[in-house]
Structure 1
Amino acid sequence: MSSEAQRCVDLFLDYLRGEKRASPHTITNYQRDLQRLQRFCTERQIKAWELVQATDIRLYVATRHKANIEAKSIQRELAAIRSFFRFLLKKQWVEQNPAQGVQAPKSAKKLPKTLDVDQVAGILDAPPDSVLEIRDLAIFELFYSSGLRLSELVMLDITDLSVSEGTLRIRHGKGGKQRQVPVGAKAIQVIQQWLRYRPDCASSALFITMRGARLGQRSVQLRLEKWCSKNGLAEHIHPHMLRHSFASHLLESSQDIRAVQELLGHADVSTTQIYTHLDFQHLASVYDKAHPRAKRALKDG
């Protein structure tokens, strides 16, 4: 492609840095995606962005798919390309956005990994040996009790918890949305134990380090790994597995998908519906083990 085409890319990246205040990570990704598209256009002897057609973008997507690039990655690349052409359109350097109607391959939904009730008990019933472990146990109990995201948990303040009402206010939900969720009696009990030992400091955070700083996401992940290792839990367990387990166990017991959606803070019920697949897997497993004709079919097969 021409030097003018490269200048358009450079101006777009400057726009992302300046007006959009995009993160360095985002800018690096966009730059790499557009460089890849430029190479593709050069191979097809397309010299300017205004000459790119929707058929070219579709062929580009097909080429990436044929190269075994994950659908999620292609979706991200397409988003970058659409954004770039929107910028060019706004500047009146092109007459159309050729990527606007192009669809990426649909990615297969991966079922989230969950723990069964015994595995959860293995995490939450082990006794703590230190103040730090009391804090950690309060964190793990709260994950499973209320189905929090990791980002939501670390942003909690002490004033977000109402012990008398058994509720928790989530002020930093996904998309800036707030919600209120119930907190189980066991979680309340362990949190109160942590608050008795919590260092007296200026921080308003519910969960802090022993120096008084708000606990970070990576620290929570590492503490859970350490706790599981100490208590002989071989499987790699991360905080979101406790959230997934909360959703799966609650849906399995209540069959109330709307309530689970509300508790998880999902904007769309379709996001919550993935847990119905997990529930079906559980039911299918029970059926295979319990139904006499199912067992016979397994033996005969």
Structure 2
Amino acid sequence: MDNKETMIKEILFDMSMKLGSCELQILENVLRIKLRKCRIEEENTELSTYVDDNDYIIKLFIANKRLENLSPKSIEQYVKATRNMLCYMNKNYKDITTNDIKYYLAMYQQTRGVTQNTLANIKRFLSAFYTWASDEEYIEKNPVRPIKAIKQQTKKKEFLTKEEIVNMRDACKTLRETALLDFLLSTGVRVSELTSLNIKDVDFTKEEVNIYATKTRAYRTGYLNENAKKHLLDYLNSREDDSEALFISTRENKRINTQRVQKELQNIAERAGVTKHVTVHLFRKTFATNLYNAGCDIVIIKELLGHANIATTEKHYASVNQVEIRREHMRCA
């Protein structure tokens, strides 16, 4: 990487904490246009002396991923995995070999007793860093690329049955609890999306919800069915606060947080005699499964869930329940 490119990366990193992804992209474009005919001599900059430093290269990686509008959670996962590996191996990132990565993954699994799925995720996080480093020409060869895919264990897709949903509805004690359950079943939102929603994001006339996905940094439209619309209106009409949040904590009249939502769902589940670990994510999977079993096209389900890749929808969310399997067997066998 030449001095000019290093300088651009350094400037983008310095500004990444103050500018959003759009502003960073504009800044990068301006820098490339203005510096196109300029030549930066090596003796005029000390940037190149820091390229070999692990902490420095990780900071550049963070700035680059912010520029790509990657979610903070994803960036955090990539950085944590990379830092842990480099600290464990006690080597410069440029000196890491394929055998080093294999050794680290083997030791990680042995010492922590993690599943194949977790190990595959660690490999994926390391691959993200080294693919970037290779593409940006900080290294000549990506040490993760030659490693074969880690065979993952197929987990049984879990979702709430119709009976469990009925029991949980019956176990609701407040208008908010009922509204929360039906809203989740109708929209399939993520917990971060749910807690950030405002009343103005819901159009009751069109029965639509404007959802902002913090994970993908994109908006999508969700829809309210009859139950969700009715119970959400009942809940909102019962409130006497002036909060803009769609769901609030009853104690403080403030926006409900992730921990409170998850705890409330689990409390309802316990009262209903549901033994599964009930979370917003389980409702999200139930939402997808119900649509799939009703004959909804997987592409439509992908859009409603806000997935970037349809493979994610197929692999982790939509599933055929045993009742449907038995019915089809009796029909076709």
Same fold (TM over 0.5): yes
Could you tell me the TM-score, scaled by structure 2's length? Answer: 0.67
How many angstroms apart in 1 are the aligned matches of 2:316 and 2:147? 30
1:122 is aligned, of 142, 167, 183, to 167
**Offset, 1:175:** 0.4
RMSD of Structure 2 on Structure 1 (CA): 3.6
Q: Which moved more, 1:221-230 or 1:96-105?
A: 96-105
**Is the contact made by 1:152 and 1:170 (CA closer than 8 Å) also made in structure 2?**
yes
Specify every segment of 5 or more residues in structure 2 that has no aligned partner in the other structure, as ranges: 1-51, 67-71
Corresponding position: 1:32 with 2:73: no
**Is the contact made by 1:149 and 1:243 (CA closer than 8 Å) also made in structure 2?**
yes
How many angstroms apart in 2 are the aligned matches of 1:239 and 1:125? 18
Q: Which moved more, 1:119-128 or 1:80-89?
A: 80-89
How many angstroms apart in 1 are the aligned matches of 2:87 and 2:137? 20
| Distance verdict in 2 for CA 1:180–1:98, change over 3 Å | same
Secondary structure of the residue that 2:222 maps to in structure 1? Answer: strand
Corresponding position: 1:60 with 2:112: no
**Offset, 1:117:** 0.9
**Is the contact made by 1:89 and 1:96 (CA closer than 8 Å) also made in structure 2?**
no
How many angstroms apart in 2 are the aligned matches of 1:245 and 1:89? 39
| Distance verdict in 2 for CA 1:77–1:243, change over 3 Å | closer
Corresponding position: 1:206 with 2:255: no
**Offset, 1:143:** 0.3
Could you tell me the TM-score, scaled by structure 1's length? Answer: 0.74
1:9 is aligned, of 39, 46, 54, to 54
How many angstroms apart in 2 are the aligned matches of 1:262 and 1:60? 40
How many angstroms apart in 2 are the aligned matches of 1:170 and 1:89? 34
**TM-superposition CA deviations, 1:45-88 (whole Å, max 9, x none):** xx76655444x246436735873643343344333366268559
How many angstroms apart in 1 are the aligned matches of 2:87 and 2:128? 14
**Offset, 1:221:** 0.4
**TM-superposition CA deviations, 1:118-139 (whole Å, max 9, x none):** 11111123453xxxx2112211
**TM-superposition CA deviations, 1:192-211 (whole Å, max 9, x none):** 1111122322x321111232
**Offset, 1:173:** 5.4
Matches within 5 A, 1:144-223: 144-172=185-213, 174-201=215-242, 203-210=243-250, 211-223=252-264
How many angstroms apart in 1 are the aligned matches of 2:320 and 2:228? 25
Secondary structure of the residue that 1:181 maps to in structure 2? Answer: strand
**TM-superposition CA deviations, 1:225-280 (whole Å, max 9, x none):** 12222333343322222221121122111242222222222222222223787316
Specify every segment of 5 or more residues in structure 1 that has no aligned partner in the other structure, as ranges: 1-6, 39-46, 294-301
1:232 is aligned, of 256, 268, 273, to 273
How many angstroms apart in 2 are the aligned matches of 1:177 and 1:164? 23
**Offset, 1:100:** 3.9
Partner of 1:83: 129
**TM-superposition CA deviations, 1:105-154 (whole Å, max 9, x none):** 142342431111111111123453xxxx2112211110012222222111
**Is the contact made by 1:114 and 1:248 (CA closer than 8 Å) also made in structure 2?**
yes
Q: Which moved more, 1:12-21 or 1:162-171?
A: 12-21
Amino acid corresponding to residue 266 of structure 2 in structure 1: E
| Distance verdict in 2 for CA 1:253–1:168, change over 3 Å | same
**Is the contact made by 2:109 and 2:115 (CA closer than 8 Å) also made in structure 1?**
no
Matches within 5 A, 1:90-101: 94-101=139-146
**Offset, 1:29:** 4.2
* Aligned-pair identity (%): 22
Partner of 2:115: 70
**Is the contact made by 2:172 and 2:268 (CA closer than 8 Å) also made in structure 1?**
no
Aligned positions, number: 271
**Is the contact made by 2:184 and 2:280 (CA closer than 8 Å) also made in structure 1?**
yes
